[in-house]
Amino acid sequence: MKDENNKNMKKVKNILSDETSKDNNDFDILFLVDATGSMSSYITAAKEETKNISNELRKLYPEKMFKYGYIFYRDPIDSKYDKHEVIDLTDNVNSFPEKIGRIQAEGGGDSPEDWAGAYKLANEKISWRNGTKVIMHLTDAGAHGKLFTKNDKYPEEEAKLIAELEKCAEKKIKIFGYVIDDECQNSFNECSKIYRSKGGSFEVLKFLAIPPPKDIHMSDFGRPFDKPGMMGMGMMNNMGMMNMGMNNMGMNNMGMMNNMNMMNNMNMGAPPMNMMMNNMAMSAPTMNHYQMNINQNFQQNAINSIKSIMDFPK
């Protein structure tokens, strides 16, 4: 993890400096967060850490007037029930726990998500000011369009995303793409190439966090079982209780939650989704540690990103 962090810091030092915005005290930060079923812990981190990020940046750069906003995006391209949610830029960070607290990680349809729709909202629904503009994009899934996700079934989305990226570049928005899972790596790499070709700054970094515990497959709880191979096979332990899990890629990990204190008097005919995390008595300390790690990295990644811009030599 230390080596990965050093690589990240070396990358951010290469960010292009925008002299015009450095002389302006307005600083807008938009978090673009995948809100599909696998991203629950990151939504929780957004709710709990925005105020801490604000307090830290205010100490570091008291002359700057920071505003924060969020776009939580899903995949209405593939699932008609999915909706994006926008929280416009504000300096009232005390409002975020309530605003974000109602947002659930859900939906997603197929593996790629609606990046084009998310960046369209960033261009059209966010009240950017004339100073420094930053997007921090967190996701574990790639974008629609075959350039971004090889086997995607919505090739028409490719041009839409490119057009929205070009608009962001015109606004001189600096973008940090945080890779949570390898599935989104290619999408971020291709977006970065496009963005830089337009003179923009798009850095692709690893989101540093420990992986989920091996016995707890938390990736897609709450997401419909509509991805091929997404649901791990139910295994029977010696107590005759079915266990269920899903891996982050929706591929071939078999979720085995042995030795858990499962639901008492469980109806074996009930759908597997009834086996939710709060019914696993031994999982709470481990999951709390995992969430704390996500929170710490969410905060530190955001602060490091802003510092890389502010501390860039004139």
* Side chain identity at residue 155, one-letter code: P
Dihedral pair phi/psi, residue 275, rounded to 5°? -85, 75
- Among 9-13, 147-151, 237-241, 268-272, which stretch is predicted with the lowest mean pLDDT? 237-241
Q: What band does 226 get if pLDDT is binned at 50, 70 and 90? A: very low
What's the pLDDT score for residue 247? 43
Encode pLDDT of 256-287 as tens digits.
444 444 444 444 444 444 444 444 444 566 77
What's the pLDDT score for residue 302? 96
Return the C-alpha torsion angle 142, 147, 151, 154, nearest 10: 80
Q: Which of 21-35, 164-178, 212-226, 276-290 has the highest mean pLDDT?
A: 164-178
Q: How many Cβ atoms from other residues are within 10 Å of residue 279's Cβ?
A: 14
What's the pLDDT score for residue 313? 62
What's the pLDDT score for residue 84? 98
Burial of 86 (0-12, 13-18, 19+ CB in 10 A): middle
Beta carbons within 8 Å of 39's beta carbon, 6+ residues apart: 33, 105, 138, 139, 140
Round to whole Å and give the CA distance between 308 and 302. Answer: 10
Round to whole Å and give the CA distance between 181 and 39. Answer: 11
Q: What band does 296 get if pLDDT is binned at 50, 70 and 90? A: very high
What's the pLDDT score for residue 312? 73
> What average pLDDT score do residues 278-299 get?
76
Counting residues of the chain whose pLDDT is more than 70, the rounded percentage is 68
Residues in the chain: 314
Round to whole Å and give the CA distance between 265 and 45. Answer: 34
Q: What band does 233 get if pLDDT is binned at 50, 70 and 90? A: very low
What's the pLDDT score for residue 143? 98
- Among 18-27, 201-210, 290-299, which stretch is predicted with the lowest mean pLDDT? 18-27
Domains of the chain are 25-211+288-309 (3.40.50.410)
Q: What's the pTM value of the predicted model, to 2 decimals?
A: 0.73
- Among 121-135, 187-201, 243-257, which stretch is predicted with the lowest mean pLDDT? 243-257
Written as six digits, the tokens of 189 are 């790499």
Q: What band does 189 get if pLDDT is binned at 50, 70 and 90? A: very high
- The rounded radius of gyration (Å) of the Cα atoms in the chain is 20
What's the pLDDT score for residue 110? 79
Indicate whether 35 pLDDT > 60. yes
Q: What band does 15 get if pLDDT is binned at 50, 70 and 90? A: very low
Encode pLDDT of 88-101 as tens digits.
999 999 999 999 99
Encode pLDDT of 129-176 as tens digits.
999 999 999 999 999 999 999 999 999 999 999 999 999 999 999 999
Scored b (16 or more CB within 10 A) or e, 53-65 reads bbebbeeebeebe
Beta carbons within 8 Å of 307's beta carbon, 6+ residues apart: 60
What's the pLDDT score for residue 3? 63
Round to whole Å and give the CA distance between 73 and 84. Answer: 4
What's the pLDDT score for residue 311? 83
What's the pLDDT score for residue 73? 98
> What average pLDDT score do residues 297-313 get?
91
DSSP conformation letters of 249-277:
TSSS-----TT----TT--TTS-GGGS-G
- In Å, what is the CA distance from 123 to each residue of 57, 202, 209? 25, 16, 30
Round to whole Å and give the CA distance between 51 and 57. Answer: 10
Round to whole Å and give the CA distance between 43 and 90. Answer: 18
